[in-house]
Amino acid sequence: MNDSSNDRSAGNISSEEMMDGLLKDFFRLETPSGLNRPFRRPIVGRQQDTAASLVTLSTSEPTATPRSHKMVVASAIAVLAMSLIVAMKVQTPSSSGSSTVANTLPTEPTEKLMIVSPRGDAPSTQVIGEDGVTLEETDAIEVKSQK
């Protein structure tokens, strides 16, 4: 091969020296510069560690807490909804019931009967009550609502 080294001028590769130089240049450029740097600490592994520690931290707290919060809120809403429904259902029968009560009020016990004169609306000075009030005086009484 050395005997054909004159071919270099023609641009052909002919000697081991030429190949030597060519390969040195080639591998100088080919070798990644990262090999000269220290080992890249596995960031992924570290992230996993961090994630694991985060998980650990979160598990150190009672895991049921978030769920219980949700459960409390959900059950509170459910109770509210149920009570609202019940209230609405109760309100409907009670309104009809109140009318019933109103209707039945007159028929309710009349133990305290209204004081009336046996002479009807004829003027009389006769005492009709236990406190000595006459019927006319009774008529004169102005009934006002108590404040």
Footprint on this chain of another protein (rule: CB under 8 A): 1, 8, 11-14, 16, 18-20, 22-24, 26-27, 29-35, 38-42, 44-45, 49
**Separation CA 109–CA 52 (nearest Å):** 79
Could you tell me the smallest distance in angstroms from the CB atom of residue 84 to another protein?
56
Give me the phi and psi of 134, to 5 degrees please: -85, 170
CA distances, 33 to each of 25, 36, 41, 99, 100 (Å) = 14, 6, 17, 96, 97
Could you tell me the smallest distance in angstroms from the CB atom of residue 60 to another protein?
19
Buried b (16+ CB within 10 A) or exposed e, 39-68: eeeeeeeeeeeeeeeeeeeeeeeeeeeeee
Could you tell me the smallest distance in angstroms from the CB atom of residue 69 to another protein?
34
Closer residue to another protein, CB minimum distance, 24 or 89: 24
Could you tell me the smallest distance in angstroms from the CB atom of residue 33 to another protein?
7
**Separation CA 1–CA 12 (nearest Å):** 12
Closer residue to another protein, CB minimum distance, 9 or 65: 9
Closer residue to another protein, CB minimum distance, 40 or 144: 40
Closer residue to another protein, CB minimum distance, 17 or 137: 17
Distance of CA 83 to the CA centre of its chain: 19
